[in-house]
Amino acid sequence: MLTTLRRIVLEFSQDAQLHSALERMVSQIKKALKTDCCSVYLADYSQQHFLLMASDGLAITSLGQTTIGFSEGLVGLVGQREEPLNIANAHHHKDFINAPEVQEDDFNAFLGTPIIHRRKVLGILSIQQKQARHFTENDEAFLVTLAAQLANALADAEVRNLLNQTQEKNCTVKQLVGIAGAPGIALSQIMVCQPKADLTALALCEIPPEAQDEQTQRFEQALAKTSADFEQLSLKLSHFIQDETLAIFDVYKQLLTQADISQEVYAKIKQGWQAESALKLVIEHYVLQFEAIDDSYLRERASDIRDLGNRLLFNLQQQHNQPLTLPHAFVLLADEVTASMLAEYQHKGLKGIISLSGSANSHAAILAQALEVPAVMGVSGIPLAQIDKQEVIVDGYSGELFINPDEALKREFQHLIAQEHALTEKVLAEIHLPTITPDGRTIELQLNAGLSAGFDCPEQLSSLGVGLYRTEIPFMSRPCFPSELEQTQLYEKILADFPQKSVTMRTLDVGGDKSLSYFPINEDNPFLGWRGIRITLDHPEIFLVQVRAMMRANQYHNNLEIMLPMISNVSEVDEALRLINQAYYEVNSELKQELKSKRKAEHTGHIDSGNNNLPRPKIGIMLEVPSVIFQLDELAQRVDFFSVGSNDLTQYLLAVDRNNAQVASLHDAYHPAVLRALNSIAEQSTKYLVPLSLCGELAGEPAGALLLLAMGFDKLSMNGHNIARIKWVIRHVDFQRAKIILSHTLKLTTAKQVHSYLNEQLELLSLGGFIRAGL
């Protein structure tokens, strides 16, 4: 039966037409269970009823016509109870209703089970038999299992079916929901974009030894051409955005050189692979490495690697760009919209982007934010060809898409677009002003950064500090651990970019879920495994080299702060501080000796090295593991600052993997437990006089920022594109009013209540325009 079940699900998911897929399915189930009838009803929430869509046993004339209310009949009862219903004689059941048109008078036995996807009943699957009997446990188990496996396929099939209806009937498709990638609203025609070259479709090909030199030369030429292409894209964008954002393309160029991709391709060619095949093998290795990472920001670098590989393949194959006839305004749709794709089209009428994959952490989304292009990412289950050239509304605030909207809906969104432009002008007018409430409470806003400290920071924000600098990338983009000198040079550049502003560098945060190809770790549960401070304390040679590099980089800047990740107990802090002190005294002594030797060589005489001590950086910890909430007293005696990692703290408090689509909706920083934990941390930090910051998505949301302000957080660290609106909100709400809002919020019992209340408060504060933008 398991083989039969799998075949039914597979054939259903492969059928592009929902109607034919349902017809085949009911016939297959009827045959497999040897019943007299099998039917499927789909839920229509707009009409509050189930519609009989397919049946093998009921009257053909009733298909697509017969409806049963959500609270009517046995079908409605199954939907209400959300569990199977097994009845020996349906006609005798109190909820049975007679529908003459379906011609089911001869059927007695009834077994129905709901088809549920993400807590929503999509339909009812039922079987019936003339003989009055209870269906067997095996029959029930088969039907329940089949319904559970069909749920995802049916959800995708319903989207495809709605799109077909849109084409045929010119009706509106609502609530196609993805991930909000970049704020804003766009109304325009869809243009589907396919990659010009695709490594995934490439077949591997070997070469004889005498062809290796030619293949190496071909790859060298492609490498040079690709680097020039990225330079050209960066130059084009420089007319539209600030230089810091353009560092995204520096990342591509770094991947071409520092990541040793080219050297690995050369090695594969020497092993006997054609240049294209060698490239495919190397790129796929890096993509798998990055896709295995838990951190959503770092995992999105797989998209950059894939894009780089396809660009190299395009130049390897010596293809030429074909001129395209573009509409004067369009929304770009692709399986995976990349940063380079966005750069290529942004000055040609681009109004918005839709990517079937990716997240708000992708470089395409970050670049879209800088260009103020609305973006929706991760919209699954949409066949590209079906919606090419159709009109669409892209809501980059909510992540919603509206295909072929009617005139009323278009007028509504055009009004919102006008409001958005007016609000943006107000926000930008105050971007250079201090972050202070009308009644005098100040809070510092800082930047989150990763591949390049300022890569997503507009020029007018360069006076801010960095609240979180991720140091993982130099380790992940190499075939071995980076040397102390390499790390020193990188960190020195970051510190120099922010003179007299603090730069908080997080020590290496890799482990079971963030793999290094040269340091493999295999674990059953990487979320709770060997990672962060645990791995670096177990390998002090890695930790000491990194800390030494940070301190050397800081000798002329004195703006470094070091932050320890994944702290779960006091002993980890004690051991890390011991190693940091060791590194400090070593580097301090070495620098004094180097200075002494230099002066001696220059014949400048005696040096009082005691006046040239290395600046000692502040040391802090990330509060992301719930256990530390109960040890803040002891920790406060050991460190200089606390920084809450709200994304991971939420994940651990709620036991939810936000990268798992099945449970991602449960990951909510506005959950009362999370807010109460944050408030407790803030109260204890104030009590122990320890500065407190937060780096996470909550800091970049207007309602979240108001709550954190009221709790007493000293600093909020966020992506650069959020700085302006958060500053504007804080400047227009009294601190005492924020305290009142917080007090009420902490009494609420569900995340839904919190969202509703905060939306209401933003409206009352005349900040309703930010509801779309942040909560």
Active site residue 695: yes
Strand order across the beta sheet in which 37-44 lies: 67-69, 49-56, 37-44, 120-129, 109-117, 85-87
Report the C-alpha gap between 597 and 591 in whole angstroms.
10
Report the C-alpha gap between 638 and 246 in whole angstroms.
40
Report the C-alpha gap between 575 and 568 in whole angstroms.
13
Active site residue 457: no
Residue whose pair of structure tokens reads 């009082």 in the numeric block: 608
DSSP 536-605: HHH-HHHHHHHHHHHHHHTTTT--EEEEE-S--SHHHHHHHHHHHHHHHHHHHHHHHHHHHHHHHHTT--
Report the C-alpha gap between 85 and 417 in whole angstroms.
49
Assign residue 440 a region: left if phi > 0, alpha if psi is -120 to 50, beta otherwise?
Answer: left
Report the C-alpha gap between 658 and 573 in whole angstroms.
28
Identified catalytic residue from 49, 117, 363, 557: 363
Helix, strand, coil content of the chain in percent (nearest 5): 50, 15, 35
For residue 751, the number of C-alpha atoms closer than 13 Å in the C-beta half-sphere is 13
Identified catalytic residue from 38, 193, 457, 695: 695
Cβ 427 vs Cβ 216: under 8 Å: no
Assign residue 349 a region: left if phi > 0, alpha if psi is -120 to 50, beta otherwise?
Answer: left
Assign residue 241 a region: left if phi > 0, alpha if psi is -120 to 50, beta otherwise?
Answer: beta
Look up residue 346 and give its two tokens.
């942004």
Cβ 470 vs Cβ 449: under 8 Å: yes
Q: How far is CA 156 from CA 13, 161, 208, 379, in A?
A: 9, 9, 47, 11
Name, in order, each residue with C-beta under 8 angstroms of 339's C-beta and a sequence gap of 6 or more.
Answer: 248, 249, 252, 304, 307, 362, 363, 364, 366, 367
**Which are the catalytic amino acids?**
363, 695
